[in-house]
Amino acid sequence: AQTVTQSQPEMSVQEAETVTLSCTYDTSESDYYLFWYKQPPSRQMILVIRQEAYKQQNATENRFSVNFQKAAKSFSLKISDSQLGDAAMYFCAYRSPGGRGAQKLVFGQGTRLTINP
Amino acid sequence: KAGVTQTPRYLIKTRGQQVTLSCSPISGHRSVSWYQQTPGQGLQFLFEYFSETQRNKGNFPGRFSGRQFSNSRSEMNVSTLELGDSALYLCASSLAPGLDTEAFFGQGTRLTVV
């Protein structure tokens, strides 16, 4: 079974600075997807960024980028130029490739990110 | 395009009662998954439905059940409620399993069992 671990329960950063959230996972599969989701106080899970394991290039979405290290099974999220609206709970998630329980997401415990003005 | 709609948003029930939660997926999405979120256990997968069939089930007791209708709307039911069932229940919809698509989440139903 796959597991996802986020070792930082809480992180804080000054507005406009950069912060990195850590995530490690365990799997015996060679092909899979990794995600970072954001959950603000409204409780709705919002997809921040995704990474396909077969792609060597790290995914980026505006101020959000990942450092995907497949051999080390590490998937960290870097937020640049942090904004007050980035304050939320961040979850790292794993999903097997399509066709086998395809939509089941395995989540880490989450990291609560605080942005200090 | 309307997002994933979960009803009700809040619910208070008494131990021993049963409850039904509803999820309407994004139009055109045919796969619906349910998750339970608690402070202690985090986010845990409950089950996934596609074409009115349960495709995958998490490690939850038989008191937790669900179904999907022909219009892709899904319901989950919890019978004989226990205090530990208090949680945020999240529903996610996606186009279909087997495709490289993302899951979109609703805002959840906050269930409190007293």
Quote the pLDDT of residue A100: 54
Quote the pLDDT of residue B102: 83
Nearest CA in chain A to B6: A44
Question: Over the stretch A38-92, which tens digit does the pLDDT of each residue have?
Answer: 999 988 999 999 999 988 899 999 999 999 999 999 999 999 999 999 999 999 9
What's the Cα-to-Cα distance from A22 to each of A9, A104, B7, rounded to whole Å? 10, 21, 34
* C-alpha closest to that of A6 among A106, A114, A115: A106
Is any Cβ of chain A less than 8 angstroms from the Cβ of B66? no
Nearest CA in chain A to B38: A109
* Residue B7 structure tokens: 């009803």
Q: How far is A16 from chain B (nearest CA, A)?
A: 29
Quote the pLDDT of residue A97: 73
Q: Suggest the residue from A6, A7, A45 to mutate for an interface test with chain B (most B CBs closer than 10 A).
A: A45
Contact in structure between B32 and B49 (CB atoms under 8 Å): yes
Intervals of chain B under pLDDT 50: none
CA gap B89, B56 in Å, rounded: 17
Q: For residue B94, which residues of chain A lie inside 8 Å, CB to CB?
A: 103
CB contact under 8 Å between A107 and B33, yes or no, is no
Tell me the average pLDDT of chain A: 93
CB contact under 8 Å between A103 and B90, yes or no, is no
Quote the pLDDT of residue A107: 96
Question: Over the stretch B2-28, which tens digit does the pLDDT of each residue have?
Answer: 799 999 999 999 999 999 999 999 999
Q: Which of A18-27, A96-105, B32-41, B58-67 has the lowest mean pLDDT?
A: A96-105
